[in-house]
């Protein structure tokens, strides 16, 4: 069976990581997989190269010409299914089917941002979803929003959690390696990821607590080209509060799983998420979690494997930081074991593959 996976780029973002992981799973199960992108950001390309998965890049600065070129490629490609991730690729996928098709159109909702549904752009995207055969959401929260605004699409709504494939881990975990509780935040530098809220919360910690925690943020500094506003704001605030020995801002890295495994706790402080990849991966790595109440947080985290806070409540974030500092080494291990057990029920590769297979072949 011949499949095309369509996304904007292979940059270091969450959706890009998901589509590369899906390509990996489908390829391992003997599907003929091609990935198509239209921006030359190739962070995840080595993962495709390792498996000899075909990559097509259609670069065209003019939006309408780009849509036409991709539509022509899809219509001439003799694919059995075209699977797209993110809003614009979803739109292109749907437009490519207008005029009749012999392939299945599968789009994917990755964010679940309610504000999108009320925007002009969101209404256009929602209109064109009538041409899709299936809409795959990566959280129950996103599916419920789609059904709320587009009840007529209810029968083609599906929920499949993000597939998780981890790099080989060849490092050892030593609790509080540097004498501090090591918190890692794998997230791009965007205001919605809330680096400012986290820094404000750390500043509110008593000085003794600040000496007991080390926070490393890893992510893409330039999510939109030439836009470093969130990164620069975070860096300046760290300097203002003299927190240079507590919070460290790092670039994205292909070794993030090893760094997560070596850390004591994995955190995410976003105001909005689809299904957060880093939390799914942290569960599979057997790490304690701190996260905000976004997406399917009730399914991902409870009092047995982590702590919850609110993105817009600095006191709430401060309190979870104090909670992880107070955890004993034994409790860190216990929380991590509970995360690992939870991941087996949620992210089994076999279960997720079966769900995709059912959609592709139905």
Domain CATH for 46: 3.40.50.2000
pLDDT of residue 111: 66
Residues 16 and 27 in one domain: yes
- Tell me if 174 is assigned to some domain: no
Planar angle of CA 126, 138, 278, nearest 5 degrees: 130
- Tell me if 82 is assigned to some domain: yes
Cα 206 versus chain centre, distance: 33
Report strand pairing: 289-292 vs 213-219: unpaired
Length of the chain (residues): 362
Residues 118 and 213 in one domain: no
- Tell me if 170 is assigned to some domain: no
Residues 158 and 27 in one domain: yes
The most distant pair of C-alpha atoms in the chain lies apart, rounded to whole Å, by 66
- Tell me if 244 is assigned to some domain: yes
**CA 131/CA 97 separation, integer angstroms:** 7
- Tell me if 228 is assigned to some domain: yes
pLDDT of residue 167: 74
User: Where in the sequence is the domain holding 81, given as residue range(s)?
Assistant: 2-162+348-361
Count: domains in the chain: 2
- Exposure string for 198-208, b = 16+ CB within 10 A, e = fewer: bbebbbbbeee
Beta-bridge mates of residue 181: 213
Tokens 């991730």 belong to 85
Residues 92 and 236 in one domain: no
Residues 226 and 110 in one domain: no
Token readout for 301 is 């985290």
Residues 156 and 206 in one domain: no
Residues 78 and 147 in one domain: yes
Token readout for 324 is 């992880």
List per-residue pLDDT tens for the chain, 362 residues long.
999 999 999 998 888 988 999 999 999 999 999 999 999 999 999 999 999 999 999 999 999 999 999 999 999 999 999 999 999 999 999 999 999 999 999 999 876 678 888 899 999 999 999 999 999 998 898 999 999 999 999 999 999 998 787 878 999 999 999 999 999 999 999 999 999 999 999 999 999 999 999 999 999 998 888 889 999 999 999 999 999 999 999 999 989 999 999 999 999 999 988 888 899 999 999 999 999 999 999 999 999 999 999 999 999 999 999 999 999 999 999 999 999 999 998 988 888 889 999 999 98
Residues 254 and 127 in one domain: no
Using an 8 Å Cβ cutoff, are 189 and 156 in contact? no
pTM for the predicted model, two decimal places: 0.78
- Tell me if 319 is assigned to some domain: yes
- Tell me if 338 is assigned to some domain: yes
pLDDT of residue 165: 75
**CA 308/CA 269 separation, integer angstroms:** 9
Beta-bridge mates of residue 76: none
Residue 77 Cα distances to 57, 123, 161, 290, angstroms? 14, 29, 28, 45
- Tell me if 176 is assigned to some domain: no
Sign, CA dihedral 293-299-302-304, equals: negative
Residues 272 and 333 in one domain: yes
Residues 200 and 62 in one domain: no
pLDDT of residue 351: 86
Residues 353 and 244 in one domain: no
Residues 146 and 191 in one domain: no
């Amino acid at each position: 069976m011949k499949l095309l996976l369509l996304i904007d780029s292979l940059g270091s973002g969450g959706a890009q990581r998901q589509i590369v992981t899906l390509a990996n799973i489908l390829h391992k199960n003997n599907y003929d997989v091609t990935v198509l992108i239209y921006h030359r950001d190739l962070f995840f390309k080595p993962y495709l190269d390792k498996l000899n998965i075909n990559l097509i890049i259609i670069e065209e600065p003019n939006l309408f010409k780009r849509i036409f070129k991709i539509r022509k490629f899809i219509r001439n490609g003799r694919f059995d299914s075209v699977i797209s991730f993110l809003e614009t690729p979803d739109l292109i996928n749907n437009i490519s089917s207008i005029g009749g098709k012999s392939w299945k159109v599968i789009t994917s909702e990755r964010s679940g941002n309610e504000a999108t549904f009320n925007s002009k752009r969101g209404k256009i995207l929602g209109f064109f979803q009538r041409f899709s055969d299936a809409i795959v959401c990566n959280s129950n929260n996103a599916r419920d929003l789609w059904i709320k605004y587009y009840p007529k699409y209810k029968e083609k709504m599906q929920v499949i959690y993000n597939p998780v494939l981890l790099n080989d881990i060849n490092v050892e975990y030593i609790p509080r390696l540097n004498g501090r509780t090591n918190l890692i935040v794998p997230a791009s530098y965007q205001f919605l990821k809330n680096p400012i809220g986290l820094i404000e919360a750390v500043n509110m910690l008593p000085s003794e607590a600040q000496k007991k925690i080390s926070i490393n943020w890893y992510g893409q500094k330039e999510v939109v080209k030439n836009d470093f506003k969130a990164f620069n704001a975070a860096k300046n605030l760290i300097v203002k509060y003299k927190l240079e020995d507590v919070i460290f801002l790092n670039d994205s890295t292909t070794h993030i799983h090893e760094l997560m495994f070596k850390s004591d706790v994995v955190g995410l402080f976003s105001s909005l998420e689809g299904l957060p990849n880093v939390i799914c991966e942290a569960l599979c790595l057997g790490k304690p979690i701190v996260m905000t109440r976004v997406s399917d947080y009730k399914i991902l985290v409870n009092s047995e494997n982590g702590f919850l806070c609110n993105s817009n409540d600095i006191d709430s974030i401060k309190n979870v930081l104090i909670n992880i500092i107070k955890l004993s080494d034994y409790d860190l291990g216990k929380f991590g074991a509970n995360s690992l057990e939870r991941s087996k029920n949620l992210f089994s590769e076999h279960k997720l593959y079966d769900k995709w297979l059912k959609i592709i072949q139905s």
